[in-house]
Amino acid sequence: MFDLNNQDIMSSSEAARRWHKADDYVRQAYRKTPWKFPKGSIRKFGKQLVVTKRGMEVVTGMTEDEAATEQHKFDNGNHRIAQ
């Protein structure tokens, strides 16, 4: 049985938000470099991509906490700003 309330499973847009990436980051990464995602870490349900925390860590090279404390983050216009 799978726990769909598990915080380690998220939509691509939620994952992008949690890692402070552009809204279409996961979709673009998967389209351009699907081999970077570990087996079983991303799946398409209809038009929706669902990704695991582990998949995001591997593709971005950082944990969610590291992404939150990164010195450069996207502002609301998806432009990099220094903090």
Domain membership of residue 31 (yes or no) is yes
> In sequence order, which residues have a C-beta less than 8 Å from that of residue 62 and are 6 or more positions away?
19, 70
Measured in degrees and rounded to the nearest 5, phi and psi for residue 72 equal -115, 125
DSSP strand pairing (48-52 vs 42-45): antiparallel
Residue 26 lies in a domain: yes
Total number of domains in the chain: 1
> For the segment 21-46, what is each residue's pLDDT rounded down to a tens digit?
999 999 999 999 999 999 999 999 99
Residue 4 lies in a domain: no
Cβ atoms 33, 79 nearer than 8 A: no
Alpha-carbon separation of residue 67 from 35, 36, 49, 72 (angstroms) = 22, 18, 21, 9
- The answer to whether residue 83 is domain-embedded is no
Which tens digit of pLDDT belongs to each residue from 45-62? Answer: 999 999 999 999 999 999
